[in-house]
A and B are shown apart, each in its own frame.
Chain A
Amino acid sequence: MSTQDQNHQNNSTHFGYQTVDKSEKESKVAGVFHSVAAQYDVMNDLMSFGIHRLWKRFTIDASGVRPGNKVLDLAGGTGDLTAKFSQLVGHEGKVILADINSSMLNVGRDKLRDKGLVQNIEYVQANAQYLPFEDNTFDIVTIAFGLRNVTDKDMALRSIYRVLKPGGRLLVLEFSKPEHDLINKAYDFYSFNILPKIGELVAKDGDSYQYLAESIRMHPDQETLKDMMDNAGFEQSTYKNLTGGVVALHKGYKF
């Protein structure tokens, strides 16, 4: 392989099935989320038949959050996890809802304020690769359905590791690889044939949901993500498959 090819490979990444320049991915992903932000919650309920709420509950149950904890809900979008964490950490704790996308952050902020959740929540527009927080700041960092959209996942994991306190934990909730072939086939059919059509009908944006399906397929599988977490410095990394592996929850500690 020539040096030019190697350079090209180092500077390129996936945007769904397309290979794009790393500098391009952020703006393309931003375009997708600016487009779907307003309908994001409705689409989540429709696409997952409401099961995303149970996946998120599972994540909160697995987090071991306690009153007084400081939590970073990365790529927190419309704030589903933040809403629960905010209640559980109490007045002495704090939750920071961070998202790279201003439209998602605005929808999340409006939603949480409408629910009366204002006391212990802060909003930060941040890139997961360059987290604007001091070292050893958070007890818990969660990233739900966000990591696959990050341009450089390894860099993001290292950045998360840096901001976690010793004893703190990272929880990554993300689409993954189904455990059985039959589920995989049904899931493929649903993702590529039905999902974009629902997106077209409800959010008037089939392309963004086509990207969603493609980005899920390009995301590292369970074992690969676990290895990536280990490489970033996390210890005792484990994962749990949910709904037959359609989604997996990875958990790792910083000691």
Chain B
Amino acid sequence: MSALLHPQLLCSGLEKLTNVALSLNLHGKKSLDKLEQKTLSIHLQEIGFPLSFTVIAQKVLVNTFAEHADCTINTSIKTLLLLKKEQQLTELIKQDKLDILGDIKVAQQFAHIAETLDIDWQSELAKHIGDIPTYKLTRASHYFTKKLKFASEQIQADASEWLVHEKRLVVTNSQISIFNQQVNDVSKQVELLINKVEPLLDKHAELSSKILKDHCE
């Protein structure tokens, strides 16, 4: 059976991406000094292998062995994205969304680096294609983002109109709350009825046993 190389491909891509991002960081690489020779290992629920990030000589190496990590995190991709905000660490641990083994400071320092990463994309792009094309490209991207946002909102609104009013496949929020209210009312009435019926049933049982006793005598 041939081994798949996707973990190595992912590690290679992440390593390249991380180091490029760090080299473009406006705050420099000083924050990496504290993490020299430290390893953070992340086990994501969605992928079947660990990702270990080791800082060596102001570079981040990414590989798949986690045996000698200073800090190991077990979590999911969704939670990992929240981890960017350092202050959320404790909250996520409390919610059992995050399991941390080892030195928590290592995880916090990595999270701090991610949080403070500041890249001037426009300047970087201008270095390669020039100022005027960058300006035009940025303006065009803002224009298209705005248009795209508007279009997506429009599509969403149109789709809900069509589903609710034309095809009647979905009900509105107010209809759901009216329905919920009606269900609650019925539940209450049923409860009242049960309260009335139960004593009657008890009485019926009592009478039946009395009649049976008399009949036997």
Binding site for B on A (CB under 8 A): 51, 53-55, 57-58, 60-61, 64, 66-67, 84, 87-88, 90, 116, 179, 240-245, 249
Contact = CB atoms under 8 A, between A and B. Distances in A.
Contacts of A57: 5, 8, 11-12, 63
B1 interface: yes
Given A67-B37, A90-B56, A244 B12 contact: no
Contacts, number: 54
B18 to A, nearest CB: 14
10 closest Cβ contacts across the A-B interface?
A57-B8, A241-B2, A54-B8, A54-B5, A240-B3, A87-B56, A61-B64, A244-B2, A58-B8, A66-B68
A66 B67 contact: yes
Contacts of A58: 3, 5, 8
- Majority secondary structure of chain A interface residues (helix, strand, loop or mixed): helix
Size band of the interface chain B makes with A? 20 to 34
Given A61-B65, A64-B67, A54 B2 contact: no
A55 B3 contact: no
Contact of A60 (B1, B3, B63): B63
A153 to B, nearest CB: 23
Interface in B51-69: 54, 56-57, 59, 61, 63-65, 67-68
Contact of A87 (B3, B12, B57, B65): B57
B43 to A, nearest CB: 15
Contact of A243 (B2, B7, B67): B2
A54 B3 CA distance: 11
Contact of B12 (A54, A179, A240): A54
B56 to A, nearest CB: 5
A157 to B, nearest CB: 23
B9 interface: yes
Interface string B32-44: 0000010000000
A60 B54 CA distance: 14
Nearest to B68: A66
B56 A241 contact: no
Which one of B7, B12, B57 has the highest number of Cβ atoms from chain A below 10 Å of its Cβ?
B57
A28 B112 CA distance: 56
Contacts of B12: 53-54, 57
